[in-house]
Amino acid sequence: MVETLGIVLAAAVGAISGILTTSWKTRKDLESQYDIDLRKSRVDAYTKLWGHLEPLADYSPPAELTYDALGKLSEKLRTWYFTTGGLFLSGQTRAPYFHLQQALTALATGHDGPGGDALDAETSLVIRTLGSRLRTSTTEDVATRVGPRLAPSVLFRLGRSWRRFRPVRGAVDRRWTWEGGGAKPAYFVLVTNRSDREISIVGLEREGVPDARFNPELPLLVQAGEPREVAVEEGDAGAAGRVVGLKITLSNGRQVWSKNPPDVPIRTDVLDIDSRRSAP
């Protein structure tokens, strides 16, 4: 009897083990095929994008950059986004794409002179740098694997639980504002509500600048899942590209620190920083 029971238990354990192994292998095969298909689609889409970015070549550009050329390039990128590549842009590549589009649109529409005017050397360098960032990000997309999108994994479920304890994500980035037909370095603060309910932000403090004036005044209400971007105006924003820290204070007193770069920019409110510091 005992021997028979042992045989039954061993058979049951073997059957369960076989089912779990088969299920794991099937999932991995599906994930692998998904990654392969996504990479192939991205390669095809990004190849067309690279062709559109040829006017922004760093070496031996086909022609001098003019304001008319920027407008035409912006239209080509828009068409590419909605007909070819927007569906395949990764999260990290969406940001440099929209940074470039913001610059192209603002310069092309904000220039008062003839469209055939050439960009000054500094503005041309910034535009070419933004194009280079976009190209670099696309190469990283097709050279590295992305997380599977087939079904929520254990890590995904744990991540959702973690959001209850860290409901807001904050980031500070240095980019440019596009005014008067030129580029001006500036800070941008992006806060994203990662929870499923409205949150109230009562404090935003950028690293090294404790006193700030806000428009609109705090508290800042952010809806569930909503990203809010705030432009930071300063007399001297320093060299572009540096990422600094940000402290976010919620209405319940919880504070969140972040030094992560932001996601896709969404322009909303303006934040005026008073950089004057009190004497020690």
Q: What is the pLDDT of residues 36-58, one digit of tens each?
A: 788 888 999 999 999 999 999 98
Q: What is the pLDDT of residue 124?
A: 92
Does 210 map to a domain?
A: yes
- Tokens of residue 183, six digits: 């580029």
- Do 137 and 36 belong to one domain? yes
Task: Please check whether residues 115 and 37 belong to one and the same domain.
Answer: yes
Pair (135, 189) in one structural domain: no
My answer on whether 45 and 135 are in the same domain is yes
Per the structure, the complete domain to which residue 234 belongs is given by 167-273
172 plus 139 within the same structural domain: no
**Whether 136 and 174 share a structural domain:** no
Each residue's pLDDT tens digit, 114-160: 989 999 988 998 899 899 889 988 988 886 444 444 444 555 455 44
Mean pLDDT of 159-170: 62
In a domain? residue 151: no
DSSP letter assigned to residue 181 = T
Work out the mean pLDDT of the chain and round it to a whole number. Answer: 76
d(CA 184, CA 103): 11
Same domain? For 128 and 219 the reply is: no
Looking at residue 97, its pLDDT comes to 94
45 and 112 fall within a common domain: yes
End-to-end CA distance of the chain: 85
Measured between alpha carbons, how far is 196 from 210 in angstroms, rounded to an integer?
30
Residues 54 and 126 in one domain: yes
Regarding whether 115 and 48 lie in a shared domain, the answer is yes
CATH of the domain at 192: 2.60.40
In this structure, the number of other CB atoms found within 10 A of the CB of residue 130 comes to 22
- Residue pair 264/94 in contact (Cβ under 8 Å)? The answer is yes
Assign residue 116 the CATH number of its domain.
1.20.58
Q: Quote the pLDDT of residue 266.
A: 62
Query: What is the tally of structural domains in the chain?
Result: 2
The residue with greater pLDDT, 180 or 152, is 180
Residue 97 placed within a domain: yes
The pLDDT of residue 2 = 57
Q: What is the spatial order of strands in the sheet that 168-179 belongs to?
A: 168-179, 182-193, 227-233, 267-273, 212-215
Residue 251 counted as domain residue = yes
